[in-house]
Structure 1
Protein backbone atom coordinates (compact mmCIF):
# COMPACT_ATOMS: atom_id res chain seq x y z
CA UNK A 1 0.00 0.00 0.00
CA UNK A 2 1.46 3.37 -0.90
CA UNK A 3 0.89 6.77 0.59
CA UNK A 4 1.81 10.20 -0.71
CA UNK A 5 5.28 9.80 0.84
CA UNK A 6 6.19 6.25 -0.17
CA UNK A 7 6.33 4.16 -3.32
CA UNK A 8 5.33 0.50 -3.51
CA UNK A 9 6.67 -2.45 -5.53
CA UNK A 10 5.30 -5.73 -6.84
CA UNK A 11 6.67 -8.26 -9.32
CA UNK A 12 5.95 -11.52 -11.07
CA UNK A 13 7.98 -13.91 -13.21
CA UNK A 14 7.05 -15.80 -16.36
CA UNK A 15 9.39 -18.59 -17.46
CA UNK A 16 9.20 -18.06 -21.23
CA UNK A 17 11.04 -21.33 -21.96
CA UNK A 18 8.00 -23.30 -20.78
CA UNK A 19 5.31 -20.62 -21.05
CA UNK A 20 4.39 -20.83 -17.37
CA UNK A 21 4.79 -18.81 -14.19
CA UNK A 22 8.08 -19.35 -12.34
CA UNK A 23 7.15 -20.67 -8.91
CA UNK A 24 9.50 -20.58 -5.93
CA UNK A 25 11.99 -17.96 -7.12
CA UNK A 26 13.52 -16.21 -4.11
CA UNK A 27 13.49 -12.42 -4.38
CA UNK A 28 15.18 -9.89 -2.12
CA UNK A 29 14.38 -6.19 -1.98
CA UNK A 30 16.78 -3.34 -1.18
CA UNK A 31 16.27 0.42 -1.20
CA UNK A 32 18.28 3.61 -0.91
CA UNK A 33 17.73 7.33 -0.65
CA UNK A 34 19.66 9.37 -3.21
CA UNK A 35 22.32 8.33 -5.71
CA UNK A 36 25.00 8.13 -3.02
CA UNK A 37 22.81 6.50 -0.37
CA UNK A 38 23.69 3.15 1.17
CA UNK A 39 21.59 0.18 0.05
CA UNK A 40 19.39 -1.13 2.86
CA UNK A 41 18.24 -4.75 2.67
CA UNK A 42 14.51 -4.76 3.40
CA UNK A 43 13.96 -8.52 3.22
CA UNK A 44 12.37 -10.69 0.62
CA UNK A 45 9.96 -13.38 -0.37
CA UNK A 46 9.43 -15.97 -3.10
CA UNK A 47 7.07 -16.29 -6.05
CA UNK A 48 3.86 -18.25 -5.61
CA UNK A 49 2.31 -20.79 -8.01
CA UNK A 50 1.17 -17.91 -10.23
CA UNK A 51 4.75 -16.53 -10.37
CA UNK A 52 3.72 -13.53 -8.27
CA UNK A 53 5.37 -12.10 -5.20
CA UNK A 54 2.60 -10.34 -3.32
CA UNK A 55 4.28 -9.80 0.04
CA UNK A 56 7.43 -7.79 -0.63
CA UNK A 57 8.39 -5.51 2.27
CA UNK A 58 7.17 -1.91 2.29
CA UNK A 59 9.56 0.78 1.12
CA UNK A 60 10.77 3.31 3.68
CA UNK A 61 9.76 6.93 3.32
CA UNK A 62 12.23 8.82 1.13
CA UNK A 63 13.20 5.84 -1.05
CA UNK A 64 14.49 6.97 -4.44
CA UNK A 65 15.98 3.73 -5.81
CA UNK A 66 14.94 0.10 -5.50
CA UNK A 67 16.85 -3.09 -6.25
CA UNK A 68 15.20 -6.47 -6.82
CA UNK A 69 17.49 -9.52 -6.70
CA UNK A 70 16.05 -12.68 -8.29
CA UNK A 71 17.74 -16.01 -7.40
CA UNK A 72 17.38 -17.73 -10.77
CA UNK A 73 20.03 -20.46 -10.52
CA UNK A 74 18.23 -22.32 -7.73
CA UNK A 75 14.97 -22.11 -9.68
CA UNK A 76 16.47 -23.55 -12.89
CA UNK A 77 18.45 -26.21 -10.98
CA UNK A 78 15.31 -27.55 -9.32
CA UNK A 79 13.28 -27.23 -12.52
CA UNK A 80 15.87 -29.17 -14.50
CA UNK A 81 15.94 -32.09 -12.09
CA UNK A 82 19.10 -31.01 -10.28
CA UNK A 83 17.48 -29.82 -7.05
CA UNK A 84 15.24 -31.23 -4.36
CA UNK A 85 11.95 -30.00 -5.85
CA UNK A 86 12.50 -31.17 -9.42
CA UNK A 87 9.77 -32.01 -11.86
CA UNK A 88 10.50 -34.43 -14.72
CA UNK A 89 7.81 -32.82 -16.87
CA UNK A 90 9.47 -29.40 -16.61
CA UNK A 91 12.93 -30.88 -17.25
CA UNK A 92 11.63 -32.59 -20.40
CA UNK A 93 10.37 -29.23 -21.68
CA UNK A 94 13.98 -28.06 -21.62
CA UNK A 95 15.55 -31.20 -23.16
CA UNK A 96 16.40 -29.65 -26.54
CA UNK A 97 18.01 -26.50 -25.11
CA UNK A 98 21.79 -26.39 -24.77
CA UNK A 99 23.12 -26.99 -21.28
CA UNK A 100 24.97 -24.29 -19.38
CA UNK A 101 27.15 -25.66 -16.59
CA UNK A 102 25.27 -28.00 -14.28
CA UNK A 103 22.59 -25.51 -13.32
CA UNK A 104 20.89 -25.00 -16.67
CA UNK A 105 21.06 -21.21 -16.17
CA UNK A 106 23.43 -18.81 -17.86
CA UNK A 107 22.38 -16.03 -15.48
CA UNK A 108 22.54 -17.40 -11.91
CA UNK A 109 20.90 -14.25 -10.61
CA UNK A 110 19.15 -11.23 -12.06
CA UNK A 111 19.40 -7.83 -10.40
CA UNK A 112 17.10 -5.01 -11.47
CA UNK A 113 17.62 -1.48 -10.16
CA UNK A 114 15.14 1.31 -10.84
CA UNK A 115 14.17 4.80 -9.67
CA UNK A 116 10.90 5.47 -7.85
CA UNK A 117 8.79 8.48 -6.97
CA UNK A 118 6.74 8.87 -3.78
CA UNK A 119 3.12 7.80 -4.01
CA UNK A 120 3.53 5.66 -7.14
CA UNK A 121 3.23 1.89 -7.50
CA UNK A 122 5.84 0.01 -9.54
CA UNK A 123 5.01 -3.40 -10.96
CA UNK A 124 8.17 -4.95 -12.43
CA UNK A 125 7.56 -8.20 -14.37
CA UNK A 126 10.50 -10.44 -15.26
CA UNK A 127 10.33 -12.58 -18.41
CA UNK A 128 12.88 -15.31 -17.84
CA UNK A 129 14.52 -18.22 -19.64
CA UNK A 130 17.81 -20.04 -19.03
CA UNK A 131 19.70 -17.88 -21.55
CA UNK A 132 18.14 -14.45 -21.21
CA UNK A 133 15.66 -12.20 -19.52
CA UNK A 134 13.62 -9.08 -20.12
CA UNK A 135 12.10 -6.69 -17.64
CA UNK A 136 9.74 -3.74 -17.94
CA UNK A 137 7.54 -1.46 -15.89
CA UNK A 138 4.12 -3.01 -15.87
CA UNK A 139 0.82 -1.75 -14.56
Structure 2
Protein backbone atom coordinates (compact mmCIF):
# COMPACT_ATOMS: atom_id res chain seq x y z
CA UNK A 1 0.00 0.00 0.00
CA UNK A 2 1.36 3.43 -0.85
CA UNK A 3 0.62 6.75 0.75
CA UNK A 4 -0.35 7.54 4.31
CA UNK A 5 -2.53 4.95 5.98
CA UNK A 6 -5.01 6.05 8.62
CA UNK A 7 -4.64 4.57 12.08
CA UNK A 8 -6.80 1.55 12.76
CA UNK A 9 -9.68 1.72 15.22
CA UNK A 10 -7.80 -0.84 17.33
CA UNK A 11 -4.05 -0.60 17.88
CA UNK A 12 -1.52 -2.20 20.18
CA UNK A 13 1.95 -1.69 21.60
CA UNK A 14 3.94 -4.62 23.03
CA UNK A 15 6.75 -4.00 25.50
CA UNK A 16 9.17 -6.59 26.83
CA UNK A 17 9.53 -5.64 30.49
CA UNK A 18 12.18 -8.31 31.11
CA UNK A 19 14.51 -6.86 28.48
CA UNK A 20 13.34 -3.27 28.92
CA UNK A 21 12.55 -2.64 25.26
CA UNK A 22 9.78 -2.79 22.66
CA UNK A 23 8.85 -6.31 21.53
CA UNK A 24 9.50 -6.24 17.78
CA UNK A 25 8.34 -9.13 15.59
CA UNK A 26 5.35 -10.33 17.63
CA UNK A 27 2.59 -11.78 15.42
CA UNK A 28 -0.79 -10.18 16.25
CA UNK A 29 -4.25 -11.26 15.10
CA UNK A 30 -7.39 -9.13 15.51
CA UNK A 31 -10.71 -11.00 15.54
CA UNK A 32 -14.32 -10.09 16.18
CA UNK A 33 -16.06 -12.47 18.59
CA UNK A 34 -19.69 -13.04 17.66
CA UNK A 35 -22.50 -13.66 20.21
CA UNK A 36 -22.35 -17.41 19.49
CA UNK A 37 -18.61 -17.37 20.42
CA UNK A 38 -17.52 -17.91 16.84
CA UNK A 39 -14.82 -15.55 15.61
CA UNK A 40 -14.04 -13.69 12.42
CA UNK A 41 -10.42 -12.76 11.70
CA UNK A 42 -10.21 -9.08 10.75
CA UNK A 43 -6.46 -8.67 10.36
CA UNK A 44 -3.02 -10.14 10.96
CA UNK A 45 0.12 -8.08 11.55
CA UNK A 46 3.54 -8.12 13.18
CA UNK A 47 4.79 -5.55 15.66
CA UNK A 48 7.29 -3.07 14.21
CA UNK A 49 10.71 -2.13 15.64
CA UNK A 50 8.94 0.01 18.26
CA UNK A 51 6.64 -2.90 19.26
CA UNK A 52 3.62 -1.21 17.70
CA UNK A 53 0.88 -2.15 15.27
CA UNK A 54 -1.04 0.89 14.04
CA UNK A 55 -2.44 -0.57 10.81
CA UNK A 56 -4.39 -3.47 12.29
CA UNK A 57 -7.74 -3.71 10.57
CA UNK A 58 -10.31 -1.09 9.67
CA UNK A 59 -10.30 2.54 10.79
CA UNK A 60 -13.75 2.01 12.35
CA UNK A 61 -15.35 -1.04 13.97
CA UNK A 62 -18.91 -1.51 15.19
CA UNK A 63 -19.69 -2.06 18.86
CA UNK A 64 -18.98 -5.62 19.94
CA UNK A 65 -16.45 -7.99 21.40
CA UNK A 66 -12.95 -8.20 19.92
CA UNK A 67 -9.83 -10.20 20.60
CA UNK A 68 -6.15 -9.55 20.07
CA UNK A 69 -4.08 -12.73 19.98
CA UNK A 70 -0.33 -12.32 20.38
CA UNK A 71 2.00 -15.10 19.16
CA UNK A 72 4.49 -14.75 21.98
CA UNK A 73 6.23 -18.12 21.38
CA UNK A 74 7.77 -16.85 18.14
CA UNK A 75 8.96 -13.68 19.87
CA UNK A 76 10.51 -15.52 22.81
CA UNK A 77 12.24 -18.00 20.49
CA UNK A 78 13.72 -15.11 18.49
CA UNK A 79 15.00 -13.39 21.64
CA UNK A 80 16.32 -16.56 23.31
CA UNK A 81 14.02 -16.32 26.32
CA UNK A 82 12.00 -19.00 28.07
CA UNK A 83 8.30 -18.99 27.28
CA UNK A 84 5.58 -19.99 29.73
CA UNK A 85 2.77 -18.31 27.75
CA UNK A 86 3.19 -19.24 24.07
CA UNK A 87 0.14 -17.17 23.21
CA UNK A 88 -1.64 -14.29 24.91
CA UNK A 89 -5.27 -13.52 24.08
CA UNK A 90 -6.85 -10.27 25.19
CA UNK A 91 -10.63 -10.05 24.75
CA UNK A 92 -12.31 -6.66 25.17
CA UNK A 93 -15.52 -4.80 24.40
CA UNK A 94 -15.90 -1.86 22.04
CA UNK A 95 -18.92 0.28 22.92
CA UNK A 96 -18.27 3.44 20.93
CA UNK A 97 -16.36 4.82 17.95
CA UNK A 98 -13.37 6.04 19.97
CA UNK A 99 -9.93 4.71 19.17
CA UNK A 100 -9.10 1.62 21.25
CA UNK A 101 -5.44 1.11 22.15
CA UNK A 102 -4.60 -2.16 23.92
CA UNK A 103 -0.98 -2.33 25.16
CA UNK A 104 0.61 -5.58 26.31
CA UNK A 105 3.49 -5.79 28.80
CA UNK A 106 5.42 -9.07 28.55
CA UNK A 107 7.90 -11.02 30.60
CA UNK A 108 8.61 -14.76 30.28
CA UNK A 109 6.38 -15.71 33.22
CA UNK A 110 3.82 -12.90 33.34
CA UNK A 111 1.92 -10.40 31.23
CA UNK A 112 -0.45 -7.51 31.80
CA UNK A 113 -2.63 -5.29 29.70
CA UNK A 114 -4.75 -2.18 30.11
CA UNK A 115 -6.95 0.25 28.22
CA UNK A 116 -4.48 2.65 26.65
CA UNK A 117 -5.01 6.02 25.10
TM-score range, shorter chain: 0.7 to 0.9
Larger Rg: 1
1:19-38 equivalence runs, <5 A: 19-33=20-34, 35-36=35-36, 38=38
Q: Per-residue displacement from partner, 1:90-113 (whole Å, max 9, x unpaired)? A: xxxx6xxxxxxxxx1000000000
The residue number in structure 2 matching 1:53 is: 53
TM-score (normalised: structure 1): 0.73
The list of structure 1 runs, each at least 4 consecutive aligned residues, that deviate by more than 4 angstroms after superposition, is: none
Change over 3 Å in CA distance of 1:61–1:69 after alignment to 2 = closer
The residue number in structure 2 matching 1:84 is: none
TM-score (normalised: structure 2): 0.86
Matched, 1:126 2:104: yes
Aligned residues: 112
Q: Once superposed, what is the RMSD of the aligned Cα atoms?
A: 2.1
How far off is 1:59 after superposition?
6.8
Q: Give unmatched runs, 5+ long, in structure 2.
A: 1-5
Higher fraction of strand: 2
